[in-house]
């Protein structure tokens, strides 16, 4: 099976997925007109949680999955 997982509450999420989500939230927050004040506060709270989980995963030694291919392509 692919990659190591760490259970964080109900969800088990890969490090790569968390980083993509974090980048998306940061991108949305940079657009000034796209979010209401309520949505902005929810995004900031979610980013705080995502950062905490990423730190936990990195401290535990989880790495992003790296694919290696042979000459045949698999």
Q: What SS3 string covers 15-73?
A: HHHHHHHHHHHHHHHHCCCCCCHHHHHHHHHHHHHHHHHHHHHHHCCCCCCCCCCCCCC
pLDDT classification of 11: cutoffs 50, 70, 90:
very low
Give pLDDT, residue 16.
86
Encode pLDDT of 44-74 as tens digits.
999 999 999 888 888 877 665 555 555 665 5
C-alpha 54/C-alpha 42 separation (Å) is 18
pLDDT at 1: 45
pTM, entire model? 0.63
Which among 9-13, 39-43, 64-68 has the top mean pLDDT?
39-43
């Amino acid at each position: 099976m692919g990659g190591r997982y760490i259970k964080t509450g109900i969800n088990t999420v890969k490090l790569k997925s968390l980083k993509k989500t974090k980048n998306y939230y940061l991108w949305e927050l940079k657009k000034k007109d796209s979010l209401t004040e309520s949505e902005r506060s929810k995004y900031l709270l979610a980013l705080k949680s995502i950062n905490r989980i990423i730190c936990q995963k990195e401290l535990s030694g989880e790495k992003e999955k790296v694919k290696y291919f042979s000459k045949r392509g698999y």
